[in-house]
């Protein structure tokens, strides 16, 4: 899977990936629920954690940076979904655009909507198809689409009685709380 499509500048200017432990609560939620929407939440936080204006080179993913490794581990451990290919592309404005394949998006929506007894998922599917995540640490994030999606997902999970380990998300889009887990091999 190609995570970083563009290469600009020397590798010495790469930002340091965020520690894997920073995202363990969200990974725990993804593993517990076994739903692709939880994977999308994890992808948003993981990409936001490592995103920064400047060059991103392919070898960063190839060398197994901890942030990329964590994202892959969450994807591969979701039982009802084959490995979702998450493609992050560095845009000119310094943001990442995260995509999930259409089949994975549709399955994610069906899983989470079924938990609330609602199959009308067209709007949620469109929201999941493409989500921009601010790159800079000081940017107010997530944006309106992500805030709405996060609120709706947690609402659906609450309807299914599954909020016990759900992390909270602050104004900077950072996940806190939840159940710590060890990084899957």
3-state secondary structure string, 31-47? HHHCCHHHHHHHHHHHH
Q: What is the mean pLDDT of residues 24-36?
A: 44
Q: What is the mean pLDDT of residues 125-149?
A: 41
Domain assignment present for residue 175? The answer is no
User: Which pLDDT score, from 0 to 100, does residue 162 have?
Assistant: 39
Given a cut of 50, is residue 7 above it in pLDDT?
no
Please tell me the total count of domains within the chain.
1
Residue 125 lies in a domain: yes
pLDDT at 43: 52
Token pair for 126: 């469109």
> Does residue 54 lie within any of the structural domains?
yes
Is residue 146 situated within a structural domain?
yes
Q: How confident is the model at residue 44 (pLDDT cuts 50, 70, 90)?
A: low
Residue 179 placed within a domain: no
Q: Is residue 178 part of a domain?
A: no
Q: Residue 94: which residues within 8 A CB-CB, separation 6 or more?
A: 51, 52, 53, 54, 135, 136
Residue 166 covered by a domain: no
Q: Which domain holds residue 81?
A: 11-160
Position 57 in a domain: yes
């Amino acid at each position: 899977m190609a995570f970083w499509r563009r290469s600009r500048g020397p590798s010495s200017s790469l930002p340091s990936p965020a520690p894997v432990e920073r995202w363990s609560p969200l990974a725990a939620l993804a593993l517990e629920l076994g739903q692709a929407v939880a994977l999308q939440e994890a992808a948003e936080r993981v990409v936001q954690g490592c995103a920064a204006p400047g060059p991103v080179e392919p070898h960063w993913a190839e060398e197994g940076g901890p942030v990329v490794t964590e994202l892959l581990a969450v994807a591969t451990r979701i039982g009802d979904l084959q490995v979702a290919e998450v493609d992050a592309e560095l845009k000119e404005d310094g943001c990442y655009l995260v995509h999930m394949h259409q089949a994975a998006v549709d399955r994610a929506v069906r899983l989470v909507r079924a938990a609330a007894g609602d199959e009308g998922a067209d709007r949620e599917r469109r929201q999941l198809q493409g989500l921009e995540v601010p790159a800079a640490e000081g940017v107010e994030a997530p944006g309106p689409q992500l805030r709405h999606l996060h609120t709706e997902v947690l609402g659906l999970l609450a309807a299914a009685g599954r909020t016990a380990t759900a992390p909270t998300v602050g104004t900077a889009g950072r996940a806190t709380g939840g159940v710590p887990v060890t990084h899957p091999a």
